[in-house]
Chain A
Amino acid sequence: KNEVEQSPQNLTAQEGEFITINCSYSVGISALHWLQQHPGGGIVSLFMLSSGKKKHGRLIATINIQEKHSSLHITASHPRDSAVYICAVYNTDKLIFGTGTRLQVFP
């Protein structure tokens, strides 16, 4: 079993839909990252959080430390949101990645 699990693995949505991507982890962490990777490989850090909730534009990330769970929400999704979303956790100074959620948003 992977130390960081994401669900779903693949997600398709119509433009305007509300999207939720989930991340569960089994190790102790000091922080959690949500990353976005576009085709071609470039990765952008969306959020780093260790408690509570953060919001940036249409993106919201939440984390529940007790339940070892985090969610990434996208409101009013747009085709340009199509990418792979990766959850990664800091455990003993190492970053452990989930395998990613591939999101496709259709017009």
Chain B
Amino acid sequence: DAGVTQSPTHLIKTRGQQVTLRCSPKSGHDTVSWYQQALGQGPQFIFQYYEEEERQRGNFPDRFSGHQFPNYSSELNVNALLLGDSALYLCASSLGQLSPLHFGNGTRLTVT
């Protein structure tokens, strides 16, 4: 039973570019959340998807957008990349909202 898988594991982009990160939830999970973790900081909630809709959103600009597909996998898109977007991006899945979270290993994004 595969856990949460994220791709790619590492990515280097240039300021102004756009990036798409992908997440496949643990089998049977229907809820996917995305988090940004800057170096030395705790994760920050970006948004959560359930039934292909964004259910909740943290304090992130509209440059951050997402999508959930019918198979519950999800994408995180970031437009007009800034140096400050360099971080570890974590995806977590769960069955519904108030259930244990399963995290992927993250995508480390570096913006130069």
Contacts and interface: CB of A to CB of B under 8 A. Distances in A.
Interface of A: 30-31, 33, 35, 40-45, 48, 50, 86, 88, 90, 92-100
B55 interface: yes
Nearest to B102: A45
B106 A41 contact: yes
B110 interface: no
Interface of B: 33, 35, 37, 41-45, 48, 55-56, 58, 88, 90, 92, 97-103, 105-106, 108
Nearest to B107: A41
Nearest to A87: B42
30 contacts: A30-B98, A31-B98, A33-B100, A33-B101, A35-B103, A41-B88, A42-B103, A42-B106, A43-B43, A43-B92, A45-B100, A45-B102, A45-B103, A48-B98, A48-B99, A48-B101, A86-B42, A88-B42, A92-B56, A93-B97, A94-B45, A94-B56, A94-B58, A95-B35, A95-B45, A95-B101, A96-B45, A97-B35, A97-B45, A98-B42
B10 to A, nearest CB: 11
B97 A41 contact: no
Nearest to B43: A97
Given A41-B90, A43-B92, A100-B42, 6 more contacts: A31-B98, A43-B43, A48-B99, A93-B48, A93-B97, A94-B48
A40 B10 CA distance: 11
Contact of B100 (A48, A93, A97): A48
Nearest to B55: A93
Contacts of B43: 43, 86, 88, 97
